[in-house]
Amino acid sequence: MQIIHTVAELRQWRKHAGKVAFVPTMGNLHQGHLALVRAARQHADAVVVSIFVNRLQFGQGEDFDRYPRTLQEDADKLKGEGVAVVFAPDERELYPHVSQDYNVEPPHLQNELCGRFRPGHFRGVATVVTKLFNIVAPDVACFGKKDYQQLAVIRGLVADLNFNIDIVPVDTGRAEDGLALSSRNAYLTPAERAQAPQMYAMLSQMAAQIRGGRQDYANLEAVAVANMQQQGWQVDYIEVRHADTLAVAHAGDKQVVIVAAARLGKTRLIDNIEVNLD
């Protein structure tokens, strides 16, 4: 496995790499990331994993400075998964002019759901992913369903900007108690970690009600928010959306997704469950 730090070296390697699958990450890897790598390995001759903490997708007061940087530990995990290249540029390498004057601006979806609470976040995601796609030139890229809104933005970006890349969605990795795997889980105190599976339990309960015929989505959402708040969560949103477009779901939609974001203490967690009503 090679660890490459420069765009020029990565592009030189790419010339002779065959079919490439790509997994972009910010490092501090857990089993959910490794599941993405295993999925990627099934689609290509070689897998490239990027590790880059992208300043552009962090808002003011968010955890950019304290986000864990664990390159050596991450590289050790990826070597065991058969990764060909770890692309780990520093900030000056990826943003040579310091500021990024040309950005990729997603449509209205960037201002909904998580975008309401993290202004500019999806612009930062779309911009860095576009840069990485141009540098790595993958045939396939794998993204986790846990970041469901991010997945929707990336799919739209690839379609509208004519990238010849297949986007492969990968199911959310979970701990035994149901908590979605996330690098930010490490910020939870022991008491918060014990409480954190409540989010997935709540989503599962809503999904069961919808499968049972409930389509009064606004009422379901309101009850779920109230229940979570009573248990000490600071809820950003709990909403039922159309699974493909992330438009507000309506009675009769056959594919919906329940998406949620809430804080336990200082830690913001997100999760979702897809519901197939065919």
- Residues taking part in catalysis: 33
Rounded Cα gap, residues 54 and 76, in angstroms: 22
The annotation status of 30 as a binding-site residue, yes or no, is: yes
Which of 183, 17, 15, 164 minimizes the C-alpha distance to 85? 17
Q: Is 145 annotated as a binding residue?
A: yes
**Tokens describing residue 239:** 């909403």
Indicate the helix (H) or strand (E) that contains 11: helix 7-14
Please check if 94 is assigned to a binding site.
Answer: no
Residues whose CB is less than 8 angstroms from the CB of residue 163 and which lie 6 or more positions away in sequence, other chains included: 133, 157
261 close to 268: Cβ distance less than 8 angstroms: yes
- With beta carbons less than 8 A apart as the criterion, state whether 220 and 240 touch: yes
Q: Is 26 annotated as a binding residue?
A: yes
Is 266 marked as a binding-site residue? no
Q: Is 181 annotated as a binding residue?
A: yes
Whether residue 265 is annotated as binding a ligand: the answer is: no
27 is in an annotated binding site: yes
Is there a binding annotation on residue 157? no
| Cα–Cα dist 142/167, whole Å | 6
The upper half-sphere exposure of residue 170, i.e. CA atoms within 13 Å in the direction of its Cβ, equals: 25
Residue 79 marked as a ligand binder: no
The answer to whether 28 is a known ligand-binding residue is: yes
Q: Is 182 annotated as a binding residue?
A: yes
CB 53 within 8 A of CB 26: yes
What are the E-state strand segments in 120-254? 140-144, 166-170, 234-242
Q: Which residues are annotated as a binding site for ATP?
A: 26-33, 144-147, 173, 181-184
Q: Which residues are annotated as a binding site?
A: 26-33, 57, 144-147, 150, 173, 181-184
Q: Which residues are annotated as a binding site for beta-alanine?
A: 57
